Structure 1
């Protein structure tokens, strides 16, 4: 919890345009105290948490690393409420690329980032991977659990916001499809450095990200927390890794009931010692 608190104080202080000294003056503490909080050396006194959360514009729960059930970050919280699986139950094509690149011929730990309703996470578990998955939607996580029960496999699931979550344990495979646009551009270097740091040697990342193209209209969904990537941006985070695939595709989509197109950048990269 101390690391979550430290990271969130630093992140939301900067988003409010406050220096450590300015925050300290408002709270009536020294700037050294704020520095220690942000470096996880100490924690603020519990009596300061309500005022601190008010200044930073977030709840105490969120500041401490917990995502309130009532907070809706994505429109898919509502979409996943139905009995049907919004995206179906067939795995994304990237799942087959994982199987091809790093098959589970030995125990392999896999993290599915932004698992949605769990179709990819359950596919991986069915094929022998040790799967952990997280998402921001309660409805999606509930469906992931039900899908795993139906398939008679185990998937460890937890709720987290991709902007707040950081790895503190290592995995062999990191997979994410259609989720990375929820990461604000100014946090991508930090988050991807964390992902790379906590990936085992010879581990693999299989990611895709929506990219902005001037000849493709914006998607019809009104996503309030969506930040498109640029072509080549995803690849730029892996200049020190072995690149297996860095292609870009354009595909048709009808997810909202309105035909539209997306441009997507893909990366398959391996960590070499």
Structure 2
């Protein structure tokens, strides 16, 4: 918890545009005290948490790394509550590429980042991977558990916010589809550094991102927490890895009931021993 709190104090302080000195002054403390919090050397007294929460304009639960259950976090929360699977149950085609590149001939740990309703996570578990998955949607997590139970496999699934979650254990494979556009540009270097650091040698990352293209209209879904990616940006985080695949596609989509197009970059890379 200490590291999570330290990271969140620094994150929300910077988002509000405060220096350590300014935040300390608001709380009647020195900037050294704030610095120690942000470097996880000390923790704020419990009595200070309400004032810290007020100064940073964030709930105590969020500050401590817990996601509030109130309100709709994801635009898909309501869609995931229906009996049908919004995205279907067929795995993403990239799942088959991961299966070919890193077949589970031995115990391999895989993390599905932003698993949605769990179709890909369950596919990997069904094929012999040790699967961990997380999503921000309560309904998505429940659908993942139900699908895993129906197939008869185990997926260690939990709730987490993509922006807050950091790895502290190693994996062999990191997989994410249709999720990374929720990462704010200012946090991408830190998050991908964390992902790479906690990937075992010869481990694989299989990711895709939606791209900003001038000839494609914005999607009809109103996603306040979505951020733009540009051609080559995902690759720039993997200049020191072996790139196994890099491609861009434009495809038709009808997920919202309104026909539209998306541009997407796909990358599969491997950590060089």
What TM-score do you get using the length of structure 2 for normalisation? 0.99
Which secondary structure state, in structure 1, belongs to the residue aligned with residue 191 of structure 2?
Answer: helix
Which secondary structure state, in structure 1, belongs to the residue aligned with residue 149 of structure 2?
Answer: helix
Alpha-carbon displacement from aligned partner over 1:105-161 (angstroms, at most 9, x marks no partner)? 110000000000000000000000000000000000000000000011000011000
Contact 1:117–1:143 (CA<8 Å) still a contact in 2?
yes
Alpha-carbon displacement from aligned partner over 1:26-74 (angstroms, at most 9, x marks no partner)? 0011111100100011100001101111111111011001111124332
* 1:38 is the counterpart of 2:38: yes
- The residue aligned with 1:141 is 141
Alpha-carbon displacement from aligned partner over 1:146-193 (angstroms, at most 9, x marks no partner)? 000001100001100000000000000000000000000010000000
Structure-2 separation of matches of 1:145 and 1:114: 14
* 1:63 is the counterpart of 2:52: no
- The residue aligned with 1:174 is 174
Aligned counterparts, 1:15-30, within 5 A: 15-30=15-30
Runs of 4+ in 1 over 3 A off after TM superposition: none
Consecutive unaligned residues of structure 2, counting only runs of 5 or more, are: none
Consecutive unaligned residues of structure 1, counting only runs of 5 or more, are: none
Structure-1 separation of matches of 2:57 and 2:90: 40
Which secondary structure state, in structure 2, belongs to the residue aligned with residue 246 of structure 1?
Answer: strand
- The residue aligned with 2:188 is 188
Contact 1:204–1:270 (CA<8 Å) still a contact in 2?
yes
* 1:77 is the counterpart of 2:77: yes
What TM-score do you get using the length of structure 1 for normalisation? 0.99
Aligned counterparts, 1:80-91, within 5 A: 80-91=80-91
Aligned counterparts, 1:203-242, within 5 A: 203-242=203-242
Structure-1 separation of matches of 2:254 and 2:170: 36
Contact 1:74–1:224 (CA<8 Å) still a contact in 2?
no
TM-align CA RMSD? 0.6
